[in-house]
Amino acid sequence: MGETVTITIKDREYTIRGADDKDRILKVAAYVDQKLKEIRSSSKGLTDEKAAILAALDIAGDYLQLIKEKEDLLREINNRSQNMILSVNTVLQ
């Protein structure tokens, strides 16, 4: 496990230990805190639990979108690579 890091989410401090380095843990915590603030500002009167669930869903949606974009890019790279190989083979024959 990595070093112990103190993070702040929703004005509360938590001491955690993770496998990532301190900077990455702090960035993740800041991202979660920002998502919670966005949810709270757009939906007044939510309980902490509901805000956390909505933030988790929002973060999961962001993650799944990035996976889709990565897969699309890899597919495009593969297609272009195959086309380049075909072109090179055609020229060499």
Can you read off the two tokens belonging to residue 6?
Answer: 């103190």
Task: Kindly report, residue by residue over 12-27, the tens digit of the pLDDT.
Answer: 999 999 899 999 999 9
The four Cα atoms 18, 23, 24, 26 give a dihedral, to 10 degrees, of: 80
Give the phi and the psi of residue 44 in degrees, each rounded to 5: -70, 150
Q: Is pTM beyond 0.85 here?
A: no
In the structure, what pLDDT confidence band is assigned to residue 1 with cuts at 50, 70 and 90?
low
Q: What is the CA radius of gyration of the chain?
A: 21
Q: What percent of the chain has pLDDT over 90?
A: 90
pLDDT tens per residue across span 24-51: 999 999 999 999 999 999 988 899 999 9
- The two structure tokens encoding residue 85: 């190989």
